[in-house]
Chains A and B, each alone.
Chain A
């Protein structure tokens, strides 16, 4: 049976998972890619190299992040969060966020680890999405 997941539980699922699918708009259509992220104080934090999703989000900052916990075809939870893309450019903030990303993702490659040391060259984009709306559906 399907049930709605309320906002508190949706936020809680978002904070326990580390991989989600980021949606943005490219040429009037959707574009979806998987990302590693962490959720803190109402913001989803992530980083990326320059590419299609970054140029798309710079043009239209409306984004969504979908996360799910799928046990089977009849037992799953899916949460969809909507928000606005913001790029972090201040070196001290970038360094702090990259440090936290490394804590959450200890397998980040040596290249990315090295980036944390010197607060990162600007080619690595650090961004966050302020979650404005969130809801979920579960089947149990």
Chain B
């Protein structure tokens, strides 16, 4: 089930919230667990076994660590449990996510094996694997206590808010809130607002960007070759907007739903497209993933407190893995290395020499071309678009088709770009600021706050019903 579907909003989430608030504090965790398992099973019940199994291994190894330390003191040899955890979880991730890719490459090089198995990627495996590893490693490092109750750890790993599309919530962030969380009305309001804005961002903005991007950049080398240079640029700009609006909307919805019931997840995006450098971009983009790699890979490797050579190696490892995490295909690896290149460039060459305005433009360009690499799993398509954007092999500079799309989306495009900036939040803050002294402005701010969630929900519903609009020419009934 996806958050941006009518079934989720009007059936699943509504039922979840009603039952949650009616069942009494004692049963709330159980209610969340049951709903989460149903939610996960919606995408194919067979993978539930994997989620429960991985959680069990994590629960067991962490518990063993805690018990051994209790029994034999803090020096007890518990590393073996960490090894078991990592081998099992990363092993399963490799099998389900990367085996097809690895065998495909081996096959291309050696002709062996004869047929490459097609393995379906279990939903959310990239996210919950990382969540569970972070839990066991934190227990190993003594940063958090082991969870004694299995189903409570399962609640953490399967919680439908973040299980299938992030953010990668650390166990320690919500460890206390599993057993003790207070629901404040101000939290409920913030949650409702974040959720509804996230839903609108996904259903209206991201989906429309996707439609525009898909029409400008149709699949297939031959089709892409028919596009003009301007069409490729416009298509990629829509794609760039789509990918941020889509992903951050999902995080907003997850964080919002958590807030409604008293969970506080950390921010996952912080307006990445206003970044002044590539390094800055990665502090703002998918924060829960970059901090995961920072804390569990980069720093254990020595971080930056090592020789320059080793530091470059550490960076290379982190960015290779970051690329690979996004998908089992070469273009994702190139995408990670693309960022490695610019991060090294900033460290050794650019430093702080770039004027601010230039820095913003440069960052946006690096990110935009990064998305080109990211978008096309087929290296041939990637080549066509990369070349075409510089006029090489494109079908002319511009075309009537491109003008039509541009004009058709012109106001929307401006709006979507503004939606990537903190403008709305700043205006809202300003209104409340001025409102302290001015009653009219204060009322405007309050009324806006009051109607925003309901209005966003209504607009999103229209967009979601409208998304299934699919006229048939020849069919009659």
Question: Do A and B belong to a common assembly?
Answer: no
B residues sitting closer than 8 Å to A (CB atoms) are none
